[in-house]
Amino acid sequence: MVSAKDKEILRRLGEKKLKVSSLPSQKEKMELWRRLNSLQKSRPAVWMNEIPWHELEAVKPELMAQCEDQFLRQLELRLRRELYQWDHFRCDMIVDPFISCELVGGPVGSYADYGIKENARKEEGAHDVVYLPVLETLADAEQIRTPQVWYDKLETERRFICLSEIFEGIIPVIKRGLVHQWHAPWDQIIHWYGIERMYVDMYENPELVHRVIGNFTRALGEVLDMQESLGMLDLGNGNWRVGSGGMGAVDCLPEKVEGRPVSPIDQWGCSNAQIFSEVSPDMHWEFSLQYELPIMSRFGLTYYGCCEPLHKKFDMLRRIPNLRKISASPKADLEEFAMNAGHDYVISWKPNPAIYAPDFFDEVAARKQIDEAIEKCAGCSMEIIMKDVTTIRNDPERLDRWAAVAMASAESC
């Protein structure tokens, strides 16, 4: 039973969301993303995410959740953050004219129970974790199991009915399946293998590395098979984040399907190998990408990369037939990256979030960083994605100021 208090809180937020979503600029922003992702001429699109909301919540009471029910409290928090971002650092974000009721099920992406228990050691007084090797023999690699896929249709329907009743007459509620997932095998495997041991074994014990990545990607593919057969997948062509970049609106993926369930070919795929940042292109292909490729090839379009610099790996990346977006991390040589990308891909550039960390927020430096990046990518399709922000020094206005600088530079193109 939903309390009157919880219902009133959510209905007020729903009214605000619908009002914002009805603005003409929403269609303009959607068209911007659609043109960008379709490799049509457009200015750079700008978006911000992965910010330290806990620092904002400490000083911004409008971000504090008030609902008593835990499920509704999570939705409330999502709405409050969305509306706050719109008011303060919207950039090219889109606000949809509906509430999404997400599917109850899993696993989603690469993290799940694969039958291997990690052995992590945390150093005293430190925030970092050392993962000790637990995959040391071929027999260990054979312990990798395909996770059990589950889909609670009854709970999904219960939540949908609950939200529909709460927002009746205010804003529509839609069911949302799995619109996008990361299939990044090494993000999970490294928890079992250990970083140093993996690097050594690529030279000294390559058979083990091949067996581990082969067994794991087989399991990933089987999970995707089961998700598809259970009807868990949903269309990702719209206001959904793709990979570590921006929105996925695009011309060449369907906006609806009829007479059949959604399949991966209707969606964006995504993979990366962040731990291979300093690994040669040949070894990156041998021990990662050739195993990721069968999964990525099942999708309509794909996004590759996250925090790893990829400017010297384009010969390898061009072997991905449906690749559309490539991450250009702060460590990437952006001039070389743009030369290699040409008109074939969207450059998903990540400014260095360390700009927020000093005692003084330097707008001049922020503008210089953005303007230089835009100049290097002139003539290319480009998105500017500010993410991985660990601190704003408890100064929320830094986000607002960066957004204003970034939009001024992007809109001047």
CB 251 within 8 A of CB 238: no
Return mean pLDDT, the chain: 97
Helix and strand totals (H; E) in the chain: 15, 12
> What is the average pLDDT across 5-32?
98
* Residue 157 predicted with pLDDT over 90: yes
Alpha helix locations (H) across 3-69? 4-21, 24-37, 53-57
> What is the average pLDDT across 57-62?
96
The yes or no reply on domain 4-411 and CATH 3.20.20.210 is yes
Domain spans, the chain: 4-411
* Share of residues in the chain with pLDDT > 70 (%): 99
> What is the average pLDDT across 37-60?
98
* Residue 191 predicted with pLDDT over 70: yes
pLDDT digits (tens, 9 = 90+) for 216-255: 999 999 999 999 999 999 998 999 999 999 999 999 999 8
- Can you tell me the distance from the alpha carbon of 82 to that of 88, in angstroms, rounded to the nearest whole number? 10
CB 192 within 8 A of CB 118: yes
Beta-strand pair 346-349/323-328: parallel
* Residue 212 predicted with pLDDT over 80: yes
Q: What is the pLDDT of residue 198?
A: 95
Helix/strand/coil for 145: coil
pLDDT digits (tens, 9 = 90+) for 99-150: 999 999 999 988 899 999 999 888 776 677 888 999 999 999 999 999 999 9
